[in-house]
Structure 1
Amino acid sequence: MYNLALNDLKQSIASWRLWTLLGWLEVRQRYARSRLGPFWLTISTGVMIGSIGVVYGTLFGMKMSDYLPYLAVSLVLWTAFSATILEGSTAYISSGHYIRQAATPKLIFMLQVAWRNLVILAHNFLIVVLLLVVFGVKNWESLPVFIPALLLYMANALWIAMLVGLLSARFRDLPQIVAALLQVAFYVTPIIYRPNALTHYSFIVEWNPLAHLIELVRAPLIGELPSATTWAVTIGLAVFGWLFALAMTGRYLKRIPYWV
């Protein structure tokens, strides 16, 4: 069971030229003949961060120099995470014509989704860089932690995408359910508000693994270091999640061409 999934994963990674090229081409095709191209995503995200930041920052009575970088990092990260999962849920379905016609490794399509959203994340991250330049970096020593934290963050997004993509190929109503659950998760995860804002309902953050995932990558950028609990939760989530996703993939990998 694991051997089949691991072999598929190994072949998919070895075909990195294919899925990086396909992911990059999809980003370019979305903005064909546009002068700004993917930077329209950056502009729209920047407008959203600015409008939400002014409104909610005023309502919460927070300093804009603290709240805007916090909000920008949170929204940019959440956009990449939710898009990876949502697009992963339809990855096998939308690539059905390739899967039925050629004996390609199946996890190529999941890596393609993850790469495509990393490219978009890189474009949107310019907003975070701009805000850090304007308001200053809080702690230079914490910044290097961002790189391993981001890799762990995307590793968790990828195994979830693998799982929902496999199940969605079998049950076609699942992508709509995933979209609804992600919308709920957005509101119960400290993205717009800070975790300490929930004084009477702190368990929503403490028992929410997504809160730890966001905090893992956000903390180094706002001058803090992720706690040991955050590292333990996110690493444990990645280990058990990947084991479960690979087990499911290995069991049902050969059925995907028939489902799509």
Structure 2
Amino acid sequence: MTVVHAGRNFPAAISDIRRGFGQRELWAYLGWQDIKQRYRRSVIGPLWITLSMAVTAAGLGLLYSQLFETPIGTFLPYLTVGFIVWNFMLGCMTDGSDTFISNEGLIKHLPAPLTVYALRTVWRLTLMFAHNMLVYFAVLAIFFSDLVRDGYILSSGGALQPGLDWTIITAVPAFVLIAVNGTWVALLFGIISTRYRDIPQVVNALTQLLFFVTPIVWPVDILAQKFKETGSWQMLVAELNPLYHFIQILRAPLIGSEQSWHHWVVVLGITVVGWALALLAMRNYRARVSYWV
């Protein structure tokens, strides 16, 4: 049998990634089977994903809109999209850490590129993302008049937003870019986690902290109003958080919020650095994954 993971060099690592993307039918089938297996014998099946997101968004949206004294018509879409994007990125980090560990049997018996298992994870999360987007469309239909209004606000005294317009189409390349980053995260975290089994636990612990410091349930406008002094370190809480930029490139066009190109610059920079690290990890350790798992 040919050992497909052999070769400690960049051409071999690049070949693994290229062949992994080329085996679309394999990772797409495996990802879909993950969803079917998860909701096996369930009456409504994958719709539980949608219902869970709907209940979470509605409950927290109503609560935090009162706590922050924000208009429910604009805050609930803001929080809903934030949760949807966050769940996708959270899955890339947590499920990505277990990518190779959970595929131990296939890795040892199926001569396939390692990238297939990372893409399986990202595809499964993409299917879940699609189910959650049904909640967004429902919220959009209910609060459409609030979101298309030019000059709406996310919080009392906050910046005026332009409202929904043709820029909503930029949500498509934004999600593609986030998914591309999710793939290198699954590769890099997955390889490290096979060697150091404490990494998934560390990732789970850190993501809980990251959730609270990322503008998902609270608008950035609140920081701007509370800490108006120039150079105040509190204003950097959002800007120094890379997850904020990932969320914003997708959330802004979907809710008609003001878009800033610096978010795209940050995300593109992270994409380049992240894939460079993933390639380095693939070059040095891809041949050892089958032994570590």
TM normalised by structure 2 equals: 0.86
CA distance in 2, matches of 1:30, 1:58: 36
Pairwise CA RMSD: 1.1
Indicate which of 259, 264, 282 corresponds to 1:231: 264
Query: Is 1:78 paired with 2:81?
Result: no
- Does the 8 Å contact 1:195/1:205 carry over to 2? yes
Aligned residue pairs, count: 260
Query: Is 1:124 paired with 2:132?
Result: yes
Letter in 2 for 1:243: A
- Match of residue 289 from structure 2: 256
Over residues 179-212 of structure 1, what are the superposed CA-to-partner deviations in whole Å (9 max), with x where a residue is unaligned? Answer: 1111111111100001121233111111111111
1:157 offset after TM fit, Å?
2.2
CA distance in 2, matches of 1:161, 1:253: 13
- Does the 8 Å contact 1:196/1:202 carry over to 2? no
Letter in 2 for 1:255: R
Indicate which of 161, 169, 180 corresponds to 2:194: 169
1:99 offset after TM fit, Å?
1.1
Indicate which of 58, 63, 67 corresponds to 2:66: 58
Query: Is 1:191 paired with 2:199?
Result: no
Query: Is 1:5 paired with 2:13?
Result: yes
Q: Which has the higher helix share?
A: 1
Unmatched 5+ residue regions in structure 1?
A: none
- Match of residue 152 from structure 1: 177
- Match of residue 28 from structure 1: 36
Over residues 14-34 of structure 1, what are the superposed CA-to-partner deviations in whole Å (9 max), with x where a residue is unaligned? Answer: 111011001001101111121
Letter in 2 for 1:104: A
SS in 2 for 1:10: helix
CA distance in 2, matches of 1:202, 1:162: 33
- Does the 8 Å contact 1:8/1:106 carry over to 2? yes
1:44 offset after TM fit, Å?
1.2
SS in 2 for 1:92: helix
Unmatched 5+ residue regions in structure 2?
A: 1-8, 149-163, 228-233
Indicate which of 230, 240, 249 corresponds to 1:207: 240
* Percentage of identical aligned residues: 36
Letter in 2 for 1:108: V
1:225 offset after TM fit, Å?
4.8
1:164 offset after TM fit, Å?
0.8
Letter in 1 for 2:199: L
TM normalised by structure 1 equals: 0.97
Shifted more, 133-142 versus 186-195: the winner is 133-142
- Match of residue 217 from structure 1: 250
CA distance in 2, matches of 1:245, 1:73: 28
Query: Is 1:141 paired with 2:166?
Result: yes
